[in-house]
């Protein structure tokens, strides 16, 4: 079972004050820490679990700068066999179409039975690259996958629907599956592990080698302007020392009739 | 717009998309066409016939179960045939599988998870969120004869705009070859369990901010002191710290307690969609910019590890009182 996993490095924005950049096209990123996109972390883990069970290889791919190699090294440390980075200069000039074109071109030279992507990325939240790659490659697909079992040349998947419902399907390989968080428990990666993985193959492919025209890569979805959420009335903030806050909360609970 | 239905019922997202479609159609003199795919679904068409100008019905046994492979073939064919300016699809599990494929098929630009849609001088602008709702953005598109948008659940009204009486058009199954590479097997209940949080009057809920598995006991203790029920947001279930049946949100349960205490929950929309029925929301989070403070009634911007134990003690004291 040869599996390709598409990964992305994203800024960590939880509990951080985000600042809009001068052009109002994005956020200032120079002060932010970066991590492997949460969904992709689960996707890599799932690929490695399947490899451990069924044999084969795991290849991690990203489109980005040298800084983005950090998430490939992490993937290698988790157990991926090799990694590919597509050097494409400033990737903010691409939209999901462009990234999907690039990815579907790169995987043509990589043997695969399955391609995994995360359901979405914790930055732009578009969530469309995976299915676009499947359509470009004309292969089968499933979204929001929370369970996978290999059955001969087929894969049995559970896709998460709304309201606690799952949909089980049987899909012919090759296929692209967009992986949902919670499908497994991603393993811990140590600094030492990342250092050891430096010996593994990390290939850099230049965008120009892929033979994509400017027209194919030109964005169709354009971010005109980003801004902070419009002000709302918001919550009434309870402040003071913890004792005082606790008393106020109890008062509210009593008033609402749940302190019985 | 593409009608979404499940287990013989029109889903709310369908009504919400029809509301938005009608609003735009009134303003810019367009027609609203609904596409309904399924098996024995003609009765469903009647349910929405006062919300669209045309309903194209594909009623065929081969459409009994959702199959993105078949759905996208049929919808792409219809788009190429009738060239609609706007195609609305639900930003649901199903919609998110079909929409990107349609974008590649038709060459139309796509924006997902839209929370508003407007036209200025014939230019389509979609409003959406990024970075877990901390940033909003306006998206425009490269010039095109049509646009594809997926719509977030729960942001538009389910009301009817204008007077419409849809012409119901029965269509034949248009594909000669069915790409049967993906077979539907069954629906499974992934959130069955002993406790039904949707019935609780008081929920003490926790999320990523709780940090470590052993800290869950803080929340359990508070819930016990208050005779409330423990619930949680998605990251807690993803980490296997609490079972799926305690999860609040779009992929978990919708709840309607008198009071919802959110401890270390940032308030992503998928979570907040599940608590829209709560009477009062009290949020404890140390990040003053956490989106939850936008919808909560009361907010405590402080370290939960400081507040929760003291609150529990006070509750026990008061009850002894």
pLDDT digits (tens, 9 = 90+) for B254-305: 999 999 999 999 999 899 999 999 999 999 999 998 999 999 999 999 999 9
Which letter does DSSP use for residue B49 in this model? T
DSSP per residue over B227-249, as a string? Answer: T-EEEE-HHHHHTTSS-GGGBBS
Note whether B131 and A13 are within 8 A (CB). Answer: yes
- Provide the pLDDT for residue A114: 98
Chain B hits for A13, CB-CB cut-off 8 Å, are: 131-132, 134
For β-strands B298-300 and A236-237, DSSP reports them as: parallel
**% of chain A surpassing 90 pLDDT:** 90
For β-strands B123-130 and B135-141, DSSP reports them as: antiparallel
- Name the minimum distance, in Å, from the CA of A203 to any CA of chain B: 28
Note whether A42 and A181 are within 8 A (CB). Answer: yes
**% of chain A surpassing 70 pLDDT:** 100
With a CB-CB cutoff of 8 Å, which residues 14-33 of chain B face chain A?
none
Domains and CATH numbers, chain A: 3-217 (3.40.50.620)
C-beta atoms of B141 and A181 within 8 A: no
CA–CA dist B1, B32 (Å, integer): 8
- Residue that has been written with the tokens 């953005």 in this structure: B137
Angle (CA) B274 B98 A72, round 5°: 80
Return the closest-CA partner of residue B282 out of B298, B266, B294: B298
- Other CB atoms within a 10 A radius of the CB of residue B154 amount to 16
- The alpha carbons of chain A give a radius of gyration, in whole angstroms, of 22
With a CB-CB cutoff of 8 Å, which residues 16-55 of chain A face chain B?
17-18, 20, 27
pLDDT category of residue B179 using cuts at 50, 70 and 90:
low
Average pLDDT, whole number, for chain B? 94
C-beta atoms of B137 and A227 within 8 A: yes
* Helical (H) or strand (E) element with B320: helix B304-320
Length of chain B: 321
pLDDT one-digit tens code per residue, B276-286: 999 999 999 99
- Other CB atoms within a 10 A radius of the CB of residue A243 amount to 12
Chain B hits for A20, CB-CB cut-off 8 Å, are: 135
**pLDDT of A253 over the 80 cut:** yes
Return the closest-CA partner of residue A2 out of A59, A84, A76: A59
Note whether B25 and B88 are within 8 A (CB). Answer: no
- Provide the pLDDT for residue B180: 61
- Provide the pLDDT for residue A206: 97
> What is the CATH code for B197-320?
3.40.50.1220
Residues β-bridged to residue B290: none
pLDDT category of residue A29 using cuts at 50, 70 and 90:
very high
Q: Right CATH number for B5-171 from 3.90.550.10, 1.10.3720.10, 3.40.50.620, 3.40.630.30?
A: 3.40.50.620
E-assigned strand segments in chain A:
3-6, 9-11, 34-36, 58-63, 82-87, 114-118, 140-151, 154-160, 165-172, 175-179, 201-206, 221-227, 236-237
**pLDDT of B182 over the 90 cut:** no
C-beta atoms of A259 and B318 within 8 A: yes
Mean pLDDT confidence for A49-62: 98
Chain B hits for A221, CB-CB cut-off 8 Å, are: 109-111, 139, 141-142
- Provide the pLDDT for residue B284: 97
pLDDT category of residue B162 using cuts at 50, 70 and 90:
confident
- Provide the pLDDT for residue B227: 95
| Sequence spans of domains, chain B | 5-171, 197-320
**pLDDT of B176 over the 70 cut:** yes
- Residue A224 has its nearest CB partner, among B129, B140, B234, at B140
C-beta atoms of A164 and B208 within 8 A: no
Burial class (CB in 10 A: 0-12, 13-18, 19+), A29: middle
Mutate to test the interface with A, among B251, B256, B267 (most CBs of A within 10 A): B251
Return the closest-CA partner of residue A57 out of A81, A75, A83: A81
- Residue B318 has its nearest CB partner, among A14, A167, A250, at A250
Give residues with Cβ within 8 angstroms of A30, minimum separation 6: none
CA–CA dist B156, B149 (Å, integer): 14
Q: Do domains B5-171 and B197-320 have the same CATH topology?
A: yes
C-beta atoms of B96 and A143 within 8 A: yes
- Residue A222 has its nearest CB partner, among B105, B139, B293, at B139
CA–CA dist A159, A165 (Å, integer): 9
- Provide the pLDDT for residue B33: 97
pLDDT category of residue A231 using cuts at 50, 70 and 90:
confident
Query: Looking at the predicted complex, does its ipTM rise above 0.90?
Result: yes
pLDDT one-digit tens code per residue, A73-96: 999 999 999 999 999 988 989 999
Mean pLDDT confidence for A117-125: 94
For β-strands A154-160 and A165-172, DSSP reports them as: antiparallel
CA–CA dist B257, B195 (Å, integer): 14
- Other CB atoms within a 10 A radius of the CB of residue A32 amount to 15
DSSP per residue over B151-214, as a string? Answer: E-TTSS-----S---PEEEEE----SS--TTEEEEEEEES---S--GGG-SEEEEE-GGG-SGG
Mutate to test the interface with B, among A244, A246, A250, A252 (most CBs of B within 10 A): A246
**Does B145 reach chain A within 8 Å, measured CB to CB?**
no
For β-strands B116-120 and B167-171, DSSP reports them as: unpaired
Give residues with Cβ within 8 angstroms of A246, minimum separation 6: B307, B310, B311, B313, B314, B315
**Does B177 reach chain A within 8 Å, measured CB to CB?**
no
Mean pLDDT confidence for A57-67: 97
- Name the minimum distance, in Å, from the CA of A89 to any CA of chain B: 22
CA–CA dist B303, B109 (Å, integer): 44
| Three-state secondary structure call for residue B96 | helix
> Which residue of chain A is at minimal alpha-carbon distance from B266?
A14
pLDDT one-digit tens code per residue, B111-158: 999 999 999 888 999 999 999 888 999 999 999 999 999 999 999 999
Torsion of CA B21, B24, B25, B29, to 10 degrees: -170
- Residue B132 has its nearest CB partner, among A122, A167, A256, at A122
Chain B hits for A130, CB-CB cut-off 8 Å, are: 100
- Residue A159 has its nearest CB partner, among B93, B135, B254, at B93
Average pLDDT, whole number, for chain A? 95
Note whether A36 and A73 are within 8 A (CB). Answer: no
For β-strands A9-11 and A34-36, DSSP reports them as: antiparallel
Note whether B181 and A170 are within 8 A (CB). Answer: no
Q: What is the pTM of this model?
A: 0.93
């Amino acid at each position: 079972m040869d599996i390709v996993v598409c990964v992305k490095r994203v800024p960590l924005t939880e509990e951080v004050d985000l600042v809009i950049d001068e052009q109002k096209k994005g956020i200032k990123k120079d002060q932010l820490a970066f991590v492997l996109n949460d969904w992709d972390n689960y996707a890599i883990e799932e690929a490695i679990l399947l490899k451990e069970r069924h044999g084969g290889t795991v290849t991690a791919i990203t489109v980005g700068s040298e800084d983005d190699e950090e998430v490939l090294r992490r993937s290698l440390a988790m157990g991926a066999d090799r990694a590919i980075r597509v050097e494409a200069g400033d990737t903010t000039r691409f939209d999901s179409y462009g990234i999907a074109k690039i990815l579907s071109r790169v995987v043509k030279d990589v043997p695969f039975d399955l391609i995994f992507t995360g359901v979405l990325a914790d930055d732009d939240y578009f969530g469309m690259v995976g299915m676009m790659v499947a359509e470009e490659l004309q292969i089968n697909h499933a979204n929001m996958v929370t369970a996978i079992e290999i059955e001969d040349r087929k894969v049995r998947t559970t896709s998460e629907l709304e309201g606690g419902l799952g949909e089980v399907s049987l899909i012919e390989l090759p296929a692209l599956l967009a992986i949902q968080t919670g499908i497994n428990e991603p393993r811990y990666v140590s600094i030492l592990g990342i250092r050891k993985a430096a010996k593994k193959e990390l290939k850099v492919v230049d965008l120009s080698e892929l033979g994509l025209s400017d027209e194919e890569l030109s964005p169709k979805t354009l971010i005109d302007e980003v801004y902070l959420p419009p002000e709302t009335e918001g919550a009434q903030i309870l402040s003071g020392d913890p004792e005082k806050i606790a008393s106020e909360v109890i008062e509210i609970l009593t008033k609402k009739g749940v302190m019985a | 717009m593409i009608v979404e239905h499940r287990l013989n019922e029109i889903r709310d997202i369908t009504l919400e998309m029809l509301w938005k479609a009608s609003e735009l159609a009134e303003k810019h003199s367009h027609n609203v066409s609904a596409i309904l795919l399924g098996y024995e679904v003609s009765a469903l068409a009647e349910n929405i016939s006062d919300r669209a100008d045309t309903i194209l019905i594909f009623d065929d046994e081969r459409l009994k179960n959702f199959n993105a492979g078949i759905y996208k073939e049929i919808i792409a064919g219809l788009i190429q045939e009738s060239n609609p300016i706007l195609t609305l699809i639900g930003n649901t599990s199903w919609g998110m599988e079909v929409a990107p494929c349609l974008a590649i098929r038709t060459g139309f630009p796509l924006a997902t998870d839209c929370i508003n849609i407007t036209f200025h001088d014939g230019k389509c602008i979609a409003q959406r969120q990024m970075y877990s709702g901390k940033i909003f953005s306006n998206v425009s598109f490269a010039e095109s004869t049509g646009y594809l948008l997926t719509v977030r659940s729960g942001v538009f009204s389910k009301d009817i705009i204008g007077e419409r009486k849809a012409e119901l058009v029965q269509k034949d199954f248009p594909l000669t070859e069915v790409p049967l590479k993906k077979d539907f097997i069954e629906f499974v209940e992934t959130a069955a369990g002993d406790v039904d949080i949707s019935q609780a009057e008081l929920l003490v809920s926790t999320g990523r901010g709780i940090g470590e598995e052993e800290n869950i006991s803080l929340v359990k203790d508070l819930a016990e002191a208050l005779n409330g029920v423990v619930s949680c947001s998605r990251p807690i279930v993803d980490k296997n710290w609490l079972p799926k049946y305690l999860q609040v949100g779009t992929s978990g349960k919708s709840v309607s307690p008198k009071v919802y205490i959110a401890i270390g929950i940032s308030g992503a929309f998928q979570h907040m969609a599940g608590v829209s029925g709560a009477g009062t929301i009290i949020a404890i989070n140390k990040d003053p910019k956490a989106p939850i403070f936008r919808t909560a009634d009361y907010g405590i911007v402080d370290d939960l590890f400081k507040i929760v134990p003291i609150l529990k003690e006070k509750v026990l004291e008061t009850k002894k009182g």
